[in-house]
């Protein structure tokens, strides 16, 4: 396991909200991050279908996009979300883990642009996609 | 003038509060996040009750952007659902006790949700109100604003589009 991934996993574990939602960072390299979130009944948004709430998917997308910015080669010291748009393509299948992959496809000295996709076990049909802009803080 | 005598206030309040409670308590994620609702007539104000698990950055400390987004989406969704169900709750078609037993109408589904983060969230309660700008047979558009200490200084705002449940949908009602 790379040192960067190990450090980043420690960092994600320190974020109380990410930990509370059961997120786990499984890959981090070259402005790309992959985070999984196992199914949990406390995350249910629709009691009829037992599908998890869009808000939990938003939290996962936001965390993953932020991690992708931090993994950009310019090595920002911190980042914050400016805006994040999520498109919900289909309901995630109840009981299945959600995997999100985010890519920071462009970054300037002040702004990073990120795209992300979330899938369940059927990886060919995305559950949701996200587009966001993030602040970039580079150490002086 | 011959108009029916208005219902006693306690009866009106109980019907509305019980229906709102049933609606909110049916969603596990709303409970997990710790969101509660205040009601004045048909107007709702959501409250994100601060606790440690909402923190994203423990060094600042600041609320997690995902917690803020989820709070906004919950507020938008409940406000939309409430505005659609209001008439049916008022005319007695929907019974609060029945709703509390889990016999709830289907929820709208989020199509997209776009959050604009304006300030870093402080480790304390946040409030939000949503406005349904359009509510059609199939689609709805909702705007929502959240603040903490000062309503003029928004924490975040969001716009979302929702797909309304159709009469043919499988569900309880």
- Give the pLDDT confidence of B17-33 residue by residue, as tens digits: 999 999 999 999 999 99
Backbone angles phi, psi at B11, to 5 degrees: -65, -40
CATH number at residue A11: 3.10.129.10
Q: A39 in a domain, yes or no? A: yes
Instruction: Report in angstroms the alpha-carbon separations of B119 from A65, A126, B62, B63, B96.
Output: 18, 31, 10, 10, 38
Q: A140 in a domain, yes or no? A: no
Give contacts of B 34-93 with A, CB under 8 A: 52-58, 63-67, 69-71, 73-74
Q: Which CATH number fits domain B9-163: 1.10.10.10, 2.40.50.140, 3.10.129.10, 3.40.30.10?
A: 3.10.129.10
* Nearest-CB residue to B110 (from A17, A47, A54): A54
Q: Provide the residue ranges of all domains of chain B, joining segments of one domain with +.
A: 9-163
Strand arrangement of the beta sheet that strand A128-135 belongs to:
A24-29, A32-37, A98-107, A111-119, A128-135, A81-88, B109-117, B154-163, B139-147, B126-135, B43-48, B35-40
Q: pTM score, two decimals?
A: 0.93
Predicted confidence (pLDDT) per residue in B49-77, tens digit: 999 999 998 888 999 999 999 999 999 99
Write down the ipTM of this complex. 0.93
Query: In terms of residue numbers, what domain contains A123?
Result: 3-135
CB distance B106–A48 less than 8 Å? yes
CB distance B58–A59 less than 8 Å? no
E strand or H helix at B77, and its extent? helix B65-90
For residue B160 the two structure tokens come to: 């979302």
Q: A29 in a domain, yes or no? A: yes
Residue A32 confidence (pLDDT): 96
**A73 contacts B88 by C-beta, under 8 angstroms:** no
Predicted confidence (pLDDT) per residue in A42-96, tens digit: 999 998 899 999 999 999 999 999 999 999 999 999 899 999 999 999 999 999 9
């Amino acid at each position: 396991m790379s040192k960067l991934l190990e450090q980043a996993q420690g960092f994600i574990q320190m974020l109380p909200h990410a930990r509370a939602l059961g997120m786990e960072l499984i890959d981090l390299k070259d402005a790309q991050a992959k985070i999984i979130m196992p199914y949990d009944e406390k995350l249910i948004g629709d009691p009829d279908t037992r599908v998890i709430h869009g808000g939990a998917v938003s939290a996962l997308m936001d965390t993953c996009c932020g991690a992708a910015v931090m993994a950009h080669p310019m090595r920002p010291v911190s980042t914050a979300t400016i805006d994040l748009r999520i498109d919900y393509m289909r309901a995630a299948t109840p009981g299945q883990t959600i995997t999100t992959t985010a890519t920071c496809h462009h970054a300037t000295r002040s702004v990073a642009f990120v795209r992300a996709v979330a899938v369940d076990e059927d990886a060919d049909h995305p559950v949701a996609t996200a587009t966001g802009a993030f602040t970039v803080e580079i150490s002086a | 003038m011959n108009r029916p005598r208005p219902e006693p206030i306690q009866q009106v309040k109980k019907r509305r509060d019980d229906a709102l409670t049933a609606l909110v308590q049916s969603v596990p994620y709303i409970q997990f996040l710790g969101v509660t609702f205040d009601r004045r007539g048909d107007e709702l104000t959501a409250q994100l009750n601060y606790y440690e698990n909402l923190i994203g950055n423990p060094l600042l400390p600041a609320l997690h952007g995902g917690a803020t987004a989820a709070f906004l989406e919950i507020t938008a969704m409940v406000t939309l659902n409430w505005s659609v169900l209001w008439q049916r709750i008022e005319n007695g078609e929907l019974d609060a006790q029945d709703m509390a037993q889990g016999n709830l109408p289907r929820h709208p589904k989020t199509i997209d949700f776009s959050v604009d983060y304006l300030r870093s969230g402080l480790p304390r309660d946040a409030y939000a109100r949503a406005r349904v700008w359009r509510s059609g047979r199939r689609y709805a558009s909702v705007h929502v604003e959240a603040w903490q200490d000062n309503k003029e200084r928004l924490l975040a705002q969001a716009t979302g589009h929702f797909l309304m449940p159709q009469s043919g949908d499988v569900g309880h009602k």
